[in-house]
Amino acid sequence: MPSDLIQQTQTAIALARALINNKLESIDPLKLVATTVAATYLFCYLRYLQKSDKTLTARFKNALFYYLRKVPYVRRKVDEEVEKVKGDLHHSIHASDKSGHFFVSLPQHGLSKDELIQTAKQYEDMEGPQYLEGRVSGAVFSDEPDDQRELLKEVFGMYAWSNPLWPKVFPGCRKMEAEVIRMCCDLFRGGPKACGTMSTGGSMSILLACLAYRNRALERGIEFPEMILPTSAHAAFTKAAELFRIKIVWAKLDPVTYQVDLKAVRRAIGSRTAMIVASAPNFPYGTTDDIVAIGKLGLDYKVPVHIDACLGGFILPFARLSGYHVPPFDFSVKGVTSITADTHKYGLTPKGSSVIVYRDPQYLHYQYFCDPDWQGGIYASATFEGSRSGANIALCWATMLFHGTDNYMKTSSAVVETTRKIRDGIKKIPALRLFGSSDTCIVSFTSDKIDIHRLHDLMGKRGWQLANLQFPSGVHIMVTLNQTKPGVADAFIADIHGVVEEILASPKAQAEGPAALYGMAQKLPDRSIVKEFAYAYLDECYSTPTAMHNGTH
């Protein structure tokens, strides 16, 4: 049999050879060489483009719009639009500041302590949405109780200049960080090998996880690593992809549950997959992906699975303890290799703290950075930063010990109960449709009957600041402790009712302000114009409009 097979193959090869020779005989060898070189070159280039994080279509689209915008007519039109948007943004950013005074250069003499405190209070008093009254979706998660504030003030005074880059000079700060990590590892049911670091926020934690898995893939000889990302995952993953050159393979959502489609995830897994992402819960819809199933996929295909629990990290474990049905989302699911959780969200600490924990130090070590040859000494850092704010760590440590399991159980139950109350209220409004189950900390909805951006706009006029969603259009409210205060949920539902009626009564009217911008932005085919709007917004955030560069107050 084998000899038969060999013979057959040999004949086939001889045949193919003869065929090729026959075809190419009449061509000049030089031409042959030239054509082959060109063809190979082209093939390799196309393959590179296809594997690279910037895909061929993206490159093509960018180039197309780039040249299109060079056409004077188009340029003028776009500039006009951008200028108009800039004007709107300028107004919305500076509306609350009536003073018109800015410090734009260092005063000759320093200001006194009392003057400064007074000025800082004036700044603080500038009119903004009343977040402590529960009017703002997300943003501040703590209700800032007086005793916690006192505690934080004390701890800050002690640790203001501390810096874990110097563990021997600041052993206390070092110890606190180690303890926060251990407490979180325990919270997420990690074994004795579980480990991690703190970071300055959820984006940082996510960036670090992506970096670790990219470095791991690179070391394994994968030149163009890919990550599998549900379309509902946080924007920080896209940021990581752009920063660290990872190719994103998108997995779509189930249109009913708004969890990631498991079949899509499985199809996306390939030889270059560096990580799979799932959220607990995601930001737009507040749904938790089927982490048990994704963990199994990760195990089957030997791909690390990252759980983004930036939002739910300090709700889900305590909700479970309080007896709510919470499917496993942490290290108790075997395939899960890392978890991000924001202590400065439902952990109720001041802004600037989050944790990234790994199942095993082998992953963490890919996050570490070391420059063994640096002139300034052997340099190693655990996160992106060199020097880090020790105060943020101390504040997080103090807050966690201050609340303890009991209080976190209370706060997370209050958040879940309020979320479900608001969800039930929305459910009863026929013009609105919920995105998914909305049962943890976010109520996310849209409408098939009314302009949802207008609802956002009108709610804003009633003092509620909600988040705009797009692709598909929608709005959501993220429930913090401030919404769990008595009467807030009821007032919210009542106002939604009122606004829906208002819109139904005047269906032709248009949305205004940022909500209108959303409606317009979604229709633009050239997404770089939307980027330009966003950059204009950021620029505006850094502007000091009246007193540019001429002295002080």
Site for other proteins in 280-309 (CB under 8 A): 283-285
Per rule CB under 8 A, is residue 400 in the interface with other proteins?
Answer: yes
Q: Per-residue x/- mask for other proteins, residues 133 to 162, rule CB under 8 A?
A: ---x--xx-x-x--x-xxxxxxxxxxxxxx
Contact residue for other proteins among 190, 312, 390, 519 (CB under 8 A): 390
- Is 67 a binding residue for other proteins by CB under 8 A? The answer is no
Asked if residues 91 and 536 have their Cβ atoms less than 8 Å apart, the reply is no
Distance CA 453, CA 451 (A): 5
DSSP character string of 505-529 = HSTT----HHHHHHHHHHH-S-HHH
Of residues 421 through 460, those in contact with other proteins by CB under 8 A are none
Residue 504 CB, nearest distance to other proteins (Å)? Answer: 25
What mask, x for binding other proteins by CB under 8 A, covers residues 191 to 230?
----xxx--xxxxx--x---x-------------------
Query: Would you count residue 81 as binding other proteins (CB under 8 A)?
Result: no
Q: What amino acid is encoded at 209 in this protein? A: A
Q: Kindly state whether residue 469 participates in binding other proteins, applying the rule CB under 8 A.
A: yes
Confirm or reject binding of residue 188 to other proteins (CB under 8 A): no
Q: Hey, which residues between 10 and 29 contact other proteins (CB under 8 A)?
A: 17, 20-21, 23-25, 27-29
Select from 81, 133, 179, 254 the one that contacts other proteins (CB under 8 A). Answer: 179
What gap in Å lies between CA 286 and CA 289, rounded to an integer? Answer: 10
Q: Using N-to-C axis directions, what is the helix angle for 171-187 and 390-427, rounded to 10°?
A: 30
Residue 335 CB, shortest distance to other proteins, in Å, is 24
For residues 413 and 389, the answer to whether their CB atoms sit within 8 Å is no
How far apart (Å, rounded) are the C-alpha atoms in residues 357 and 194?
Answer: 7
CA distances from 331 to 104, 183, 232, 326 (A): 50, 14, 22, 14
73 binds other proteins (CB under 8 A): no
Contact predicate 281/346, CB 8 Å: no
Residue 65 structure tokens = 């719009």
Report 27-46 residues binding other proteins (CB under 8 A).
27-30, 32-33, 36-37, 40-41, 44
- Nearest partner of 495 among 425, 436, 411, 405, judged by Cα: 425
Residue with Cβ nearer other proteins (142 or 418): 142
Please pick, from the candidates 78, 88, 170, 268, the single residue that binds other proteins as defined by CB under 8 A.
170
Non-local (6+) Cβ contacts of 56 within 8 A are 46, 49, 50
Asked if residue 403 binds other proteins (CB under 8 A), the reply is yes
The answer to the question of residue 320 lying near other proteins (CB under 8 A) is yes
Collapse the DSSP code of 553 into the 3-class scheme (helix H, G, I; strand E, B; otherwise coil) and give the result: coil
- The contact mask relative to other proteins for 332-351 (x = CB under 8 A, - = no) is ----------x-x-----xx
**Helix, coil or strand: residue 478:** strand
Applying CB under 8 A, does 256 fall inside the site for other proteins?
A: no
- Of the candidate spans 108-116, 264-272, 299-307, 416-424, the one that interacts with other proteins by CB under 8 A turns out to be 108-116
Pairwise CA distance, residues 45 & 177, whole Å: 47
Residue 74 in the binding site for other proteins (CB under 8 A):
no
Q: Which is nearer to other proteins, 246 or 426 (CB)?
A: 246
Interface with other proteins by CB under 8 A: which range of 74-82, 124-132, 262-270, 445-453? Answer: 124-132
Q: Which is nearer to other proteins, 85 or 335 (CB)?
A: 85
312 near other proteins, judged by CB under 8 A = no
Is residue 331 close enough to count as binding other proteins by CB under 8 A? no
Q: Cα(517)–Cα(547) distance, rounded to whole angstroms?
A: 29
Q: Per CB under 8 A, does 235 bind other proteins?
A: yes
Instruction: Report how far residue 549's alpha carbon sits from residue 540's, in angstroms, rounded to the nearest whole number.
Output: 16
Asked if residue 171 binds other proteins (CB under 8 A), the reply is yes
For residues 522 and 470, the answer to whether their CB atoms sit within 8 Å is: yes
Beta carbon of residue 55, minimum distance to other proteins (angstroms, whole number): 14
> 518: Cβ–Cβ under 8 A, 6 or more apart, which residues?
453, 456, 468, 470, 473
Q: Which is nearer to other proteins, 163 or 273 (CB)?
A: 163
